[in-house]
Each structure stands twice: as structure tokens, then as C-alpha cells.
Structure 1
């Protein structure tokens, strides 16, 4: 089916795994094809019959409005659902929303609420105000990094985590010793690392945070959707069973198993509804073994890269956006409870490297269903099969190569 002949057209910003997951979910539910715009072609969306990929190396914040204006003119009169898949595109859409709202249907939160949540320091302050569990933290700015006593009187013990608060500025920097997060054992390391980061061009706040000990056994993820009236309507929670151990990619995941966590779902609902949140959200969560509580680490104002796991439970996440914003349907409150193993790495690698305490959970998920975002039976040309096999080989090698960086072996 040609894009112009569809009832609505999904317009995805990005050409990676998340883009394919969204396109697949919407094709499964509504039979529609997706238009994907990105700076470069990527293997995850290559040779697909359900996605039309268009690339433009200048698709940055300065040019994104004009690029989307051209799409709106091309498909004038059609309902266009705009779905950014990575942080840079999401922030750009939120910033330029006033210029885009008349042409696109955008399932994202307002700029005001986004600013309050995307910056980690403000997110933790918001959690504190709403009595939502989060790691204890101390905020550092650039002048404080020169303090010779920095790190000497923290309200929690070492080791600690240090990470940048501004997750838009920091990933765009390149400097020796750069990591997504740093695990530090004393005050001298805090001072040295803070100086390193600021010398590398970073200018935002840094967060020094209590270290919640544990490997994948304490790591969880959640994807949610809140309707246009600000009511939470969809929650899917998963246990990370194989994380990403490359220091520059910590926080990504190679395999998860969906779980039923009613108390955590209730907490996320209370947080989002208190903010009158609208649109998709993706949470990083850690379980604190000392207190027996789930603590929120981060909120992204879009669905996560691994979020096809939610659709694999049998309850389609992107379909929520369509039913709410395009068809005007009243959505039921849905919390997914089916057990599914979602993987991005080869199954043999997942089984080999998953921590021992999680193996029974992985077995449970495998018996119910094993899902991989890219292996869609309705989109498997020979070229696509070859592309997917290359992806499997690459992710498998990455897991093995970065096993040496695992903090808790």
C-alpha cells in the first residue's frame, strides 16, 4: 500500500531499532507502512517492505522543521503521526512543537513538563516533591568542581555513581575517558572525574549518587502511555536480564523479561498523573536491596529502544497513540502481565551470560514467547534476513567483547 493511500501515516524520526519496532507494531495492528526520516541509513530498517526510509545528513535541530514541513506538504490533508525515537530528535520536536502541532499529531509531553523531567537533577527534585523513591543524590556545578574538599562530606557512602544531568549535551561530546556513568571509590576520583568532564566541554550539572549495588538482577525498565487528558492508560514493566556493559552504552539492554509489578505500576501512575503527563514515557529503574524498594533513575519522554517487548506481550504500545489521538477512542487502563523474553542478542549468548539468579525467569519467558524486534515474518526478504543475521552477529560479539566491563561478575 502506498503511504498516501493510508488512513494515517506514521512519520518516525530515526532509522534504528526503535524505528523498526514502532513500524512493526503499527503494521501488525493497522496494516500501515511507516515513513522513517534519519541522518543515515541503518541496518535495522534496511530492505524493509513496511518502512520507507529517507535520509538527510542535515536532519538536525536547525533543519528539522523545514524537513518536516516538506513531508506535511507532500502528504497534505493526511493524518501524520510524528514519533521521534532518540533523545536528540525528541528534544527537537518538543522545542519546535508550536511550529509542528498544526501539521502533525504528536504523542509527546509539553515542553514545560519535559524540561522538568529530562534534566536528571530536576527529575529527582520532582520525585522528592511527590514522595517517589529515587536514589539519594548531590548536585555539582562547574565552579564546585574546583573545590578541594569536593566529595568529602557526602550523605551516603562510597562507592558512588557520577553522571551528567544534561543528557542532551553530554552524548554529543567526545573526549578521552568519557563514559555514560562513572563508578567512583573516593573523593579524589570525584574531583578528578568532574574536572575531566568539564575540560571535555560539558557545562551542565553533575550528579553524585548513591550506588545501588547489583547487576542485572536489580535493573528494570518500564514503558508507559498517558492519554491526551493526562491520565495514565498503559504500563509495561520488564526485568533486564542482560544489560549493556560497554561503558559508553550503559543503560541499554540486550534482553528483558516482562514482569508483573503492581506496586511499581501504581507508583508510575501516581507520578505521571500528578504531573498531568501526556504521551509516551520510558523509565530506568533499580531495585534497592537494602530498602526493598524500586527507585526511579531516569525518565525519557518517548518510548524506549527496546519497547517492542511491551507489544510482544500481546498489548500493542504504539497502537495506544493511534486509538487515542487519531480515532478518539477511550483507552482502558492496561498493565501488561504476560511473561515474554525479548532479546536483541542471540539466544545462545543470552543464555550464556545472563546472571545465574535470573536464569529461571529467562526460562519462564522463553516458554511463553521469545520475541526479537527485527524478526518479523511479514517482512523477511532474503536481503532482510542477511541484514538481521549480521545484526545478530554484531550484538553477540559486542556482548562477549564487553563482558570484561561488567561491574558485578
Structure 2
């Protein structure tokens, strides 16, 4: 697709997900994006993919959110402004404020009750149960409540039920997901999260055994016509190995042959039947019987979703077709690609499936590899930042894994 005049992407967020989304827009149609966030994280440092970063520490207030985005719209040239949430909290906030912003931006966003229904862990589990899709057994633990007897054995996965509130908490040992091997470890984890300032409920889930390569991720886009034609599955090669990155993906393999058609059809039907709109991101794991167990749905594209673009499924294209051109979204033509955010040496050392690793290494040698946070055409400052980041990754890794 050639450069598209008058398209102005405005991305809600300040992290690596925003970098991947901005990269996709730049590669697809030659435009630089604007990022709007409470605080820009280092993933956006020194990049040429953004024309501007708007930081507003009080952006979590709806009135400030609307005012900041209105001011941002007025400061931009006239054109088709596409507003894209890249974070759970911003997705819900945009759903609440969609009426006030509808005259200023084009965006794909369901109403708040739909986001609450599908985009929260407890709501998603109920929707999956109604659709006959399996999720882990789970118990919701309100803040301050004692840990109950669980209807499943250990180990236990511990997650915040309110990711947007948890994201604002900063404390030593903070993780996206915790694994408690016994009841004592579970009690220590609950206490530590509470001391860290999180006051929301926790979700205690059964652990689905298996290596990192049993994990998978699906990104999907539901257009204005209510249809899901753009849907892509990624095969996890390795989860993040640093303490703060636990629960995120370090490397993914995307191939046409690794698309589980039955699963993708079921997820597309789930979105269509529940009136979804825009991006959705599913995390799951195949159990020992080879059946997928769905963990959650995020109401936006995933942090690792640039893996789709690396495999020929541009993240920008469904937005451009649906929002800018007002036409049906087309299905992507996938090609094999391997994406990684960890240094490749880390992936090579820790990937638990050597057969998959050999396949990924062969793709990299053929030029089908993609480094997540370093787009072509970045300047020397970005290259220096990236080199220091990769070197620092090794230092942050646990001594034993």
C-alpha cells in the first residue's frame, strides 16, 4: 500500500506495543504516529516512527483524557485521525468516552459493557463457558480476604483481576503473573502484591503444565460489519526470562502451517456473536491432550503483536481498511517469520523445543527474522539504546533458570 495522504494515527499508550503499532503504520503507508500516554516508557526512546509524544500524568481521569485528546486533535493537520488503544486501561477509557471523541477521531471500539464482558478475566471466563471453550479453573480473591481452600491442586497461577489498576503499581518483585508452588508461597504472593499498593481482586487459577512452546497467542480484528477476517496465531518459542518481564513473550514463530483453524474459527465466532469491534488478543496454552485452554482476552492488540506484521499481516492494514477507507477488512496473506524481543542468544539457550528452535534459526538465516524494537531506518541514538538494552537483558536474567 502506498503512502496514504491524510491518515494520522494517534496511539494510546507509551510502551513496546505502541512502538510495534507505529512501526506497522510507518511500514504500511509511510506515516509517523502520535503517542498519547501518562508516561512514555524507554521502548519509545529516540525513535523516528513517532512525530510526537504527548504525556499527561493525569490521563486516567476521563475529563482529562477527553480534553487531552481534543487538544491533540486540534494540534494535528486536517485529516483522518485514527485513534488506536494499545493498553487495556485506555481501551476501557475510550469505550467510556466514545461519544465525546466520535467527532474528532475514527476508532474501533465496542461499548463499555462489551469491553467489561470480554476484556476482563472473570467476564471472559463466563463467556467462554457459555461457548463451550475451556478456561482454567479459577477463584477470585477480593482484596484483604483470606486465601480460601481451592477446588484444584497446586501450583497456582496468581494474576491481578484488574490489570489497568495493577499496571500503576510499582514495587520490588512485581510480575505480570506469579506462580505459587504451595499454599505458603501463595500466601506470601498475595501479601506482597497487597503491600505493593494493588487493592483490586486477584485471580487464582489452576496451573496448566507444559513448556513455553505449549503456549500460543492469537490477534484478531473485528470490522464495522461485525466480521472477523483478520486473525493470526503465533507459536511461542520462549517466555520472557527477566523478573519484570515474566508472563510476556520473548520470541514467537508465525507460519501458515501453524494456524489452528478450529481454534481461530471458534475465537472469531466468539467475537462476532458478542458484538466486538476492533482488535482483540488471546493468550492460551495447549494441555497435555493437545486441547487449547484460554487464559484471557485483552481488548487490544498484544504486546508481541508486531510478530503478525513480520509475517505479512500488517497491524495497520485492518485499521486503514476499516476506519480510513470504510471498506471490509481483508484476510492477511501469511508468510513464515520469527519475532523476538530478547537477544537471540537467550532464545537459543533457553527455548525448550530444539526442533522448533532449528526451524526458527533457519528462518532467521533466510532473512525472515524480526527484532521487535529496532525498525529499519532508525537513527544512531536508537541503535545505541537498543544495543545497551540487549546487553542489559543478559545482566537482568536470573543466574539459574
Would you say same fold, with TM above 0.5?
yes
Matched with 2:49 is 50
Matched with 2:222 is 226
CA distance in 2, matches of 1:46, 1:397: 20
Q: How many residue pairs end up in the alignment? A: 392
SS at match of 2:364: helix
CA RMSD of aligned residues (A): 2.6
The TM-score normalised by the length of structure 2 is: 0.88
CA distance in 1, matches of 2:171, 2:50: 36
TM alignment of 1:181-200, pairs within 5 A:
181-191=177-187, 193-198=189-194, 200=196
Check the 8 A contact 2:120/2:297 in 1, yes or no: no
Q: Is it true that 1:303 corresponds to 2:274 in the alignment?
A: no
Shift of residue 278 of structure 1? 0.8
Matched with 1:264 is 263
Which ranges in structure 2 are unaligned for 5 or more consecutive residues? none
Q: Is it true that 1:119 corresponds to 2:130 in the alignment?
A: no
CA distance in 2, matches of 1:293, 1:389: 40
CA distance in 2, matches of 1:23, 1:176: 31
Shift of residue 242 of structure 1? 1.8
Matched with 1:78 is 79
Q: Is it true that 1:22 corresponds to 2:18 in the alignment?
A: no
Tell me which moved more, 16-25 or 320-329: 16-25
Shift of residue 59 of structure 1? 4.8
The TM-score normalised by the length of structure 1 is: 0.87
Matched with 1:146 is 146
Matched with 1:322 is 320
Check the 8 A contact 2:213/2:353 in 1, yes or no: no
Which residue of the other structure, out of 342, 355, 365, is the alignment partner of 2:339? 342
CA distance in 1, matches of 2:204, 2:42: 37
Check the 8 A contact 1:108/1:302 in 2, yes or no: no
CA distance in 1, matches of 2:283, 2:141: 22
TM alignment of 1:255-404, pairs within 5 A:
255-258=251-254, 259-289=258-288, 291-334=289-332, 337-357=334-354, 358-367=356-365, 369-377=368-376, 379-398=377-396, 401-402=397-398, 404=400
Matched with 1:241 is 237
- C-alpha change, 1:374 and 1:186, in structure 2 (3 Å) is closer
SS at match of 2:245: coil
- C-alpha change, 1:181 and 1:387, in structure 2 (3 Å) is closer
Which ranges in structure 1 are unaligned for 5 or more consecutive residues? none
- C-alpha change, 1:248 and 1:79, in structure 2 (3 Å) is same
Shift of residue 263 of structure 1? 2.0
Runs (4 or more) in structure 1 with deviation over 6 Å come to none
SS at match of 1:168: helix
Shift of residue 275 of structure 1? 0.9
